[in-house]
């Protein structure tokens, strides 16, 4: 697969779902990928990328941003409060806001820095112990808490359990977003982005299907 193939599949899924062309943002997840592969996708004109670690992103994106104009960076992995400032300097969107302490830290830094990335609240739709995110039952209260802090909450994000049908989780996330008046839905990865688009995803996070398998050696 390639950027071109994935873009075509996204366009087809938008069409199938009766949604406007271009209503889904493709976040190319470049974590762990060699710089040459990332550069190749930048050279094809793509500008929207996702990373799951602040440190790793800080090592490669300042240089890429110098060379390629208009890069939009999304932090899609968990964020520790002590890295919040660095994350807010580097990223345009943060997808894993999931606890009061982090929300309060971001709010305080936003005041101080005079800007705030767009935020997504992560919901642990599968209620998995090892996964970040607020529980579905706590989502409404947490979103309200973020809004009360004047945080720019754009939508919700989820990562379904690996061994379950993702559509159930996408539908649940869409339902929680709708009742909270949130338009953004960050859901869908290489294996299931088309199903996510059918259920309303506005942001799909696709890594290996664009760049190839990640090598963790
Ligand atoms: C790595 C990652 C992705 C991309 O996964 P692929 O299966 O390679 O598409 C998407 N979302 C999150 C949160 C990730 O950490």
pLDDT in tens, 184-196: 999 999 999 999 9
Helices marked H in 17-114: 35-43, 54-67, 84-90, 100-113
How far is residue 137's CA from residue 38's CA, in Å, rounded to a whole number?
38
| 115 confidence band (pLDDT: 50, 70, 90) | very high
What is the model's pLDDT at position 1?
75
Average pLDDT over residues 125-147: 98
**29-81 pLDDT per residue, tens:** 999 999 999 999 999 999 999 999 999 999 999 999 999 999 999 999 999 99
Asked if residues 195 and 17 have their Cβ atoms less than 8 Å apart, the reply is no
pLDDT (tens digit, 9 = 90+) per residue, 154-211? Answer: 999 999 999 999 999 999 999 999 999 999 999 999 999 999 999 999 999 999 999 9
Task: Please determine, for residue 143, whether its predicted confidence score (pLDDT) is greater than 80.
Answer: yes
pLDDT at 217 > cutoff 80: no
Question: For residue 146, what pLDDT band results from cuts at 50, 70 and 90?
Answer: very high
**Beta bridge mates, 134:** 123
The confidence score (pLDDT) of residue 173 equals 98
Instruction: Give the nearest ligand 1 atom to 76 CA.
Output: 13
Instruction: Give the nearest ligand 1 atom to 96 CA.
Output: 13
C-beta 207 within 6 A of ligand 1: yes
pLDDT band at 215 (very low <50, low <70, confident <90, very high): confident
H or E element that contains 167: helix 166-179
Kindly tell me if the per-residue pLDDT of 216 is higher than 90: no
Question: Given a cut of 90, is residue 16 above it in pLDDT?
Answer: yes
Considering the segment(s) 3-18+28-211 as one domain, its CATH architecture is Alpha-Beta Barrel (3.20)
Mutation test of ligand 1: which of 162, 207, 213 has the most ligand atoms closer than 8 Å to its C-beta? 207
pLDDT at residue 87 is higher than 80: yes
Task: Find how far residue 209's CA is from the centre of its chain.
Answer: 16
Give the percent of the chain with pLDDT over 90.
97
Whose tokens are 């990328």? That residue is: 49
- Tell me how far the alpha carbon of residue 28 lies from the centroid of ligand 1, in angstroms: 9
Domain segments of the chain as ranges: 3-18+28-211
Q: How far is the C-alpha of 149 from the C-alpha of 164, rounded, in Å?
A: 35
Q: How far does residue 206's CA lie from ligand 1's centre (Å)?
A: 6
For residue 5, how many C-alpha atoms fall within 13 Å in the half-sphere facing its CB?
A: 9
Whether residue 123 contacts residue 176, with contact meaning beta carbons closer than 8 Å, is answered with yes
Ligand 1 atom nearest the C-alpha of 95 is: 13
Q: Is 6 in the pocket of ligand 1 (CB under 6 A)?
A: no
């Amino acid at each position: 697969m390639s950027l071109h193939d994935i873009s075509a599949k996204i366009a087809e899924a938008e069409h199938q779902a009766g949604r406007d062309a271009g209503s889904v943002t493709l976040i190319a997840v470049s974590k762990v990928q060699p710089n040459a592969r990332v550069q190749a996708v930048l050279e094809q004109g793509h500008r929207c990328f996702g990373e799951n670690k602040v440190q790793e992103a800080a090592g490669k994106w300042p240089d890429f941003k110098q060379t390629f104009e208009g890069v939009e960076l999304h932090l899609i992995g968990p964020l520790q409060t002590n890295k919040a400032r660095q994350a807010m300097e580097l990223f345009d969107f943060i997808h894993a806001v999931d606890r009061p302490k982090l929300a309060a830290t971001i709010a305080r830094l936003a005041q101080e820095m005079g800007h705030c990335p767009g935020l997504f609240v992560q919901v642990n739709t599968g209620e998995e112990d090892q996964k970040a995110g607020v529980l579905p039952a706590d989502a409404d209260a947490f979103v309200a808490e973020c809004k009360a802090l004047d945080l720019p909450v754009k939508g919700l994000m989820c990562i379904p359990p690996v061994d379950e049908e993702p559509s159930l989780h996408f539908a649940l996330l869409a339902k929680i977003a709708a009742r909270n008046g949130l338009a953004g839905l960050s859901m869908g990865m290489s294996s299931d982005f088309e199903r996510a688009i059918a259920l309303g995803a506005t942001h799909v996070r696709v890594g290996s299907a664009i760049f190839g398998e990640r090598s963790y050696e």
